[in-house]
Amino acid sequence: MKGEREKAVCSILGVALILSLMCGVCAQASELPWMNDSIAKMEQSLVAKYGDGVRSDARRGMEQVAEFWRSEDGGAADFEAFVDQNFAGDAATHTAMFDRFEGILEKLSGHMNEIGLACRWQTDLDIGPILPVDEIFAGYEPSAHVLDDFFQDKIAFVVLLNFPLTTLEQRLTDGTQWSRRQWAEARLAQRFSKRIPAEVNLEVAKISSQADQYISTYNIWMHHLVDAKGNRLFPAKMRLLSHWNLRDELKADYADAKNGPAKQRMIQKVMERIITQTIPAAVVDNPGVDWNPYTNEVKPAAVKDADAEASLPKDLTNEREPDTRYAMLLGTYKAAKMVDPYSPTAPTLIARRFDEDREIPEARVHDMLVEIVSSPLAPKVAKLIEKRLGRGLEPFDIWYDGFRSKSAYSPEELDRIVSAKYPTPGAFEKDIPNTLTKLGFPADDAARIAQGIAVDPARGSGHAAGATMRGAKAHLRTRVGANGMDYKGFNIAVHELGHNVEQFLSLNDVDHTLLAGVPNTAFTEALAFVFQSNDLMLLGLEPKRDGKAEALKTLNDFWGVYEIAGVSLVDMAVWHWMYDHPEATPAELREAVITIAKDTWNKYYAPVFEKKDVMLLGVYSHMIDSYLYLPDYAIGHLIANQIEAQIRKAGTIGPEFERMAIYGSVAPDLWMNHATGSVVGTKAMLSAAENALSVIKAGGGK
Ligand SMILES: [Zn+2]
């Protein structure tokens, strides 16, 4: 879902991680000429005061401070006085200091998060027109100056003096032996491991907001798509946000025996026009124009289908969108570049994403993705899909959706059931305790968790905005039309609810708020998928799962991972390309993305689909505004599979979900080991898919 994308803002608060300030031990020596002497002098002084036992901690702390101390922070005497006053030389003082930071940072983060929500309220929620000033508010990041302030008044230096910075390698190896308090201390220090100027943070926030805005208004009015004969395949008022809603409509069209394939081909064509930017600029979010995506002909709309104001340019042409998509992507790259100089141990966004945010090395993620896309299971599953479809695969079948029992219900039927059940966001909110009870949460917990979640009407497709202090509410944003929630909206809302429940538990029930959350976004995705995969059960529709239904679900998961792993490889390659071509123009980037998408397809998918040069892997909107977020979905599916296997073993969702979520933000492999008994990997997914394939084959494959 689009919602869980993080804001590209550097913050010490742990609210926003994307260009995060997380750790790595700076190797840079201080350039201040007096520093070494002062450190040696103070080491003697602290040992004299507290005993020889503090020597190594004192030296490490002072060296950490020295890495960030600038001349404007003071001279030798200031440094020495600072160290003398703020070094916690005994255990009681150290604990008091730790408690102070944990308590205050929680409040600070929590209130800043509330301010941020308020500033984005009008642009995030579907509650009326957006004024120009609302967009300025949306770009405002209240915590942008906090890190600067904390370095200026030396609060950051107190942390660096007393708590150890750690490397990814240390966290991956030594971390298995750490206590919970040690983990919390490591997370505390990580928040102060970079010193990024506030003006850089603000600029990044502004650019990110522009990209968000571009993506969140990129709608296609489907009733205005016409074929060569002038037929309109899609119903009136259907307005689909690219790419999420387009892809989901394409999936839903498998249930339309008559027009399904024609609709799907047309959606594929629209996607290709978006990727190549040959889409006429006039048709984007405009119900005033009819468009034939095959010939690219545009005409004034021959039918009126919405109350929305249609804009009809005086001289209507099919002039293409001028590479805005790629200008936005380049903008995010340039924003990331601005942070690079202040992040010496992770000097690219790519390094920050993998070493710091995900805490799984890029090479290992790459290997996992390749294991999936080149799996010998893929052609076998493809054959099964062909058999079920009764035709050869087409490229859009990368989104084949027929392995789910869901396809037994027509989209109209599902929409009707959902809209009757949830006419308003409030109805969905009121039903949360009931929803959670159905998912196996104990009634007390279901009620307590529900109290912590507010449901708001979203402008976008869905979003889960977590709280960051205990007692504050998490917000579930969902798109509800005038006729009530539709099935697509419900499916997304259930996913977002999974995020919100995880957010609630991992904040309120974790032992240290410094460990609030999960190891990285892939984990919150995985837990959200656990909820989402039960959406039909929540509607009372899915028959009791038998072996075959489970097998179908597993094959559906496999096919989903197979698709998103390719999309992730494209996202990763595109970011490498941008770093290799810092002066690229939007047009050059467009060509590069097309080439990368086709190459990835040709290498891994063409042998399965028997068609070359398909560019669909480049359509994801996340690639444009979400800073290399996509691999989290692929890893998330793998993690989800491991977690689901565990939940199946336990025989219930609620209590297992709780046990996992409250473990907090430790290293991914450590978390997974606690949750399931093994580290993160593809094995669970691939062996489940292999089993599922044999179950289905034994049952005849229908
Ligand atoms: Zn999500």
Q: Which residues of the chain have pLDDT under 70?
A: 1-30, 306-313, 344-345, 405-407, 542-545, 700-702
Determine the distance separating the centroid of ligand 1 and the alpha carbon of 534, expressed in angstroms.
15
Partnered with residue 478 across adjacent β-strands are 457, 462
| DSSP string over 564-622 | HHHHHHHHHHHHHHHHH-TT--HHHHHHHHHHHHHHHIIIIIHHHHT-----GGG--TH
Residue 358 CA to ligand 1 centre (angstroms) = 15
H or E segment and range at residue 474: strand 474-478
Q: How far, in Å, is the centroid of ligand 1 from the Cα of 186?
A: 27
Three-state SS across 293-350?
CCCCEEEECCCCCCCCCCCCCCCCCCCECCCHHHHHHHHHHHHHHHHHHHCCCCCCHH
Q: How far is the CA of 535 from the centre of ligand 1 (A)?
A: 14
Q: What pLDDT, on the 0 to 100 scale, is given for residue 297? A: 96
Given this model, what pLDDT does residue 236 score?
A: 93
For residue 452, how far is its CA from the centre of ligand 1 (angstroms)?
19
- Return d(Cα 28, Cα 37) in angstroms, integer: 17
CA of 248 to the centre of ligand 1 (A): 15
How far apart are the C-alpha atoms of 361 and 353, rounded to whole Å?
A: 9
Distance 40 CA to ligand 1 centre (A): 50
Amino acid residing at 694 = S
Neighbour tally for 639: CB within 10 Å: 30
For 190-204, b where at least 16 C-beta lie within 10 A, e where not — what string? bbbbbbbbbebbbbb
Instruction: Give distance in angstroms: CA of 581 to centre of ligand 1.
Output: 31
Task: Give how far Cα 639 sits from Cα of 4, 120, 335, 528, Å.
Answer: 17, 32, 30, 11
- What is the full DSSP assignment across 390-408? TS---GGGGG--TTSGGGG
Q: What's the pLDDT at 313?
A: 66
502 CA to centre of ligand 1 in angstroms:
11
The Å distance, Cα 525 to ligand 1 centre, comes to 5
Q: How far is the CA of 463 from the centre of ligand 1 (A)?
A: 8
| Number of Cβ within a 10 Å radius of residue 412 | 13
Distance 584 CA to ligand 1 centre (A): 32
Q: What pLDDT is stored for residue 410 in this prediction?
A: 86
Q: Cα separations (Å) of 588 from 336, 577, 581, 595?
A: 19, 11, 9, 11
Find the 432 Cα to ligand 1 centroid distance in Å: 18
Work out whether strand 474-478 and strand 462-465 pair parallel, antiparallel, or are unpaired: antiparallel
Question: What's the 521 CA to ligand 1 centre distance in angstroms?
Answer: 8
Contact 275, 618 (CB under 8 A): yes
Report how far ligand 1's centroid is from the alpha carbon of 501 (Å): 12
**What pLDDT was estimated at residue 566?**
98
Q: How far is the CA of 87 from the centre of ligand 1 (A)?
A: 42
CA of 326 to the centre of ligand 1 (A): 24
529 CA → ligand 1 middle, Å: 8
Q: Ligand 1 mean position to 3 CA, how many Å?
A: 6
Measured in angstroms, how far is the CA atom of residue 133 from the centroid of ligand 1?
29
**How far is the centre of ligand 1, averaged over its atoms, from the C-alpha of 320 (Å)?**
32
Ligand 1: centre distance to CA 437 (Å): 21
Handedness of CA 579, 191, 18, 71 (dihedral sign): negative
- How many angstroms separate the alpha carbon of residue 466 from the centre of ligand 1? 12
Distance 2 CA to ligand 1 centre (A): 7
What's CA 311's distance to the chain center, in Å? 34
Q: Report domain extents, the chain.
A: 35-214, 218-321, 365-402+544-698, 410-538
- Residues lining ion ligand 1 (Cβ < 5 A) are 1, 4, 525, 528
CA-to-CA distance for 648 and 644, rounded, in angstroms? Answer: 6
Distance 383 CA to ligand 1 centre (A): 30
Give φ, ψ of 617 to 5 degrees: -65, -10
Whole-number Å distance, alpha carbon 627 to ligand 1 midpoint, is: 15
Q: Separation of 524 CA from ligand 1 center, angstroms?
A: 7
Return d(Cα 395, Cα 29) in angstroms, integer. 54
Q: From ligand 1's centre to the CA of 615, what distance in Å?
A: 25
| Residues contacting residue 436 through CB under 8 Å, at least 6 positions apart | 445, 446, 449, 450, 501, 654
C-alpha of residue 404 to centroid of ligand 1, in Å: 20
Is pTM beyond 0.85 here? no
633 CA from centroid of ligand 1 (Å):
8
Q: Are 209 and 184 in contact (CB under 8 A)?
A: no
Q: How far apart are CA 283 and CA 289, in angstroms?
A: 6
pLDDT of residue 1: 38
In three-state form (DSSP H/G/I as H, E/B as E, the rest C), the secondary structure along 616-664 is HHHCCCHHHHCCCCCHHHHHHHHHHHHHHHHHHHHCCCHHHHHHHHCCC
User: What is the CA(541)–ligand 1 centre distance, in A?
Assistant: 23
Distance (Å, whole) CA 164 – CA 189: 6
Give the per-residue pLDDT at 543. 55
Q: Please give the distance, rounded to the nearest whole angstrom, from the Cα atom of residue 124 to the centre of ligand 1.
A: 16
What 3-state class would DSSP assign to 462?
strand
Residue 407 CA to ligand 1 center (angstroms) comes to 22
Rounded to the nearest angstrom, the distance between the alpha carbon of 493 and the centre of ligand 1 is 10
CA of 99 to the centre of ligand 1 (A): 32
Beta strands 474-478 and 453-457 are parallel
Compute the distance from residue 349 Cα to the ligand 1 centre, in Å. 21
